Structure 1
């Protein structure tokens, strides 16, 4: 089992990417509270560590080239965020059949039209399905396999 902050990181990343994918290519404001839940700043106006961890995850996504944004809205949101080409292509790509079968009980069968099979085997579908399941393990595996599979494969060879 991973550290709780790492599991929360994977969930924050998953939710943010799905939000951006669902409106792509339109720019949108990405609010921390929509991802991590409500937050009440303390008497000094400081956000909770959970809120700041989510905000940090959003900034990390930009640093890693997965999203762009125009500005931050305090520490509450990213203004006019959009997926990068790299993230959009990866989320839209088909995942390996073995991964789809391992992560998604509703994996496409051969009786479905090819277009439906493609949609149900995409990385974005795996992430949506993992979020819907509420399983931290599935969310972590879906994000790891979507964005870290190439670097993990390179390390193994």
Structure 2
């Protein structure tokens, strides 16, 4: 994928959704710096393009019904954020056979692992975690596209 800002968007949304899933059902503050890294405001107090792109990704998640929050903390964070029902069920759901085959085939096929654990390995959230850990932006983008585009079919 040639558009770096789109790859950053997918990575930011993946990290944000995993952070909220890990805290679910608690409401937490979702800080941009925890997702996109530290930011140094310029002499006018304005954030970098990268920081603002991440903040925009968080707002997009809310506008599209994946996240709910009480307020923003300046342009630093979403205050009291929580996954929506839609996002929670999507992340908890079993991924398609294609995603499993591409991103978690050994874990799901390993007969020495108990079935309940193999089932957990086949969820969207597990596959997102694994692709984030792998550090490959293109793979994170592919996984997030598959998850976001489920609604359009």
Q: TM-score, normalised by structure 2?
A: 0.95
In structure 1, stretches of 5+ residues that fail to align are none
In structure 2, stretches of 5+ residues that fail to align are none
Give every structure 1 segment of 4 or more consecutive aligned residues whose post-TM-superposition deviation is greater than 3 Å: none
In 2 relative to 1, CA 106–29 (structure 1 residues): closer, same or farther, beyond 3 Å?
Answer: farther
Distance 2:107 2:114 in 1: 13
Aligned length: 152
| 1:89 alignment partner in structure 2 | 89
Give CA deviations for 1:19-76 in whole Å, capped at 9, x if unaligned: 0000000000000000000001000000000000000000000000000000000000
Query: Does the 8 Å CA contact 1:35/1:54 hold for their aligned counterparts?
Result: yes
Distance 1:14 1:94 in 2: 17
Does 1:18 find its partner at 2:36?
A: no
| 2:99 alignment partner in structure 1 | 99
In 2 relative to 1, CA 2–106 (structure 1 residues): closer, same or farther, beyond 3 Å?
Answer: farther
Q: TM-score, normalised by structure 1?
A: 0.93
List aligned pairs for 1:109-148, cutoff 5 A: 109=109, 111=111, 112-148=113-149
Q: CA deviation at 1:142?
A: 1.0
Distance 2:25 2:107 in 1: 27
Q: CA deviation at 1:148?
A: 1.0
Distance 1:2 1:115 in 2: 39
| 2:49 alignment partner in structure 1 | 49
Query: Does the 8 Å CA contact 1:62/1:68 hold for their aligned counterparts?
Result: yes
Secondary structure in 2 matching 1:21: helix
Query: Does the 8 Å CA contact 1:100/1:107 hold for their aligned counterparts?
Result: no
CA RMSD of aligned residues (A): 1.1
